[in-house]
C-alpha cells in the first residue's frame, strides 16, 4: 500500500524553527496589506464624516444620503431641520448628511 501513501520521513534537526517563521510571515504580510488597503482608509473616511457632522450649523447647504438638497434652518443635538423648498421643512438625523455644499448652491439651481 505504500505506493498510494508516501511514507513520512522525519525531518532533520533544526528544521522546526524555520518552518514556524515561514508559516507566520505570510499571515503577517496579508494582515499588513488588509490594514493599509482596507481598514485604515475606512477609519480615515469615518473620522472625516464625524468631523463634518459635528461642524454643521444653521445656514449650511447640504445633500442628504437620500439625495435631497437642503438648507439647515435649525440644529438640534441629533436632528437637523432643513428647508427643501418654499414652506417645506423636514427633520433629518445628523448622520444622514452626505456632503456639505458651498454657500449659494441652492440659488444657482
Specify the residue for cell string 522525519: 10
Spatial distance between the Cα atoms of 51 and 46, rounded to a whole number of angstroms: 9
19-12-2 Cα angle (round to 5): 95
| Largest Cα span, the chain | 88
The correct answer on CATH 2.30.30.140 for the domain covering 56-108 is yes
CA distances for 8 relative to 5, 22, 42, 87, 102, angstroms: 9, 21, 47, 83, 71
**Which pLDDT tens digit goes with each residue over 70-99?**
999 999 999 999 999 999 999 999 999 999
Specify the residue for cell string 434652518: 73
**Which pLDDT tens digit goes with each residue over 46-61?**
999 999 999 999 999 9
Verdict on whether the full-model pTM lies above 0.75: no
Query: What residues does each domain of the chain span?
Result: 56-108
Amino acid at each position: 500500500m505504500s505506493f498510494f501513501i508516501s511514507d513520512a520521513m522525519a525531518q532533520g534537526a533544526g528544521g522546526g524553527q524555520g518552518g514556524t517563521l515561514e508559516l507566520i510571515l505570510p499571515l503577517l504580510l496579508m494582515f499588513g496589506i488588509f490594514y493599509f488597503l482596507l481598514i485604515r482608509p475606512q477609519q480615515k473616511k469615518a473620522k472625516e464624516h464625524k468631523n463634518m457632522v459635528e461642524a454643521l450649523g444653521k445656514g449650511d447647504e447640504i445633500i442628504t444620503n437620500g439625495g435631497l438638497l437642503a438648507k439647515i434652518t435649525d440644529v438640534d443635538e441629533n436632528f437637523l431641520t432643513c428647508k427643501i423648498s418654499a414652506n417645506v421643512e423636514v427633520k433629518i438625523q445628523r448622520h444622514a448628511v452626505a456632503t456639505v455644499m458651498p454657500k449659494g448652491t441652492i440659488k444657482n439651481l
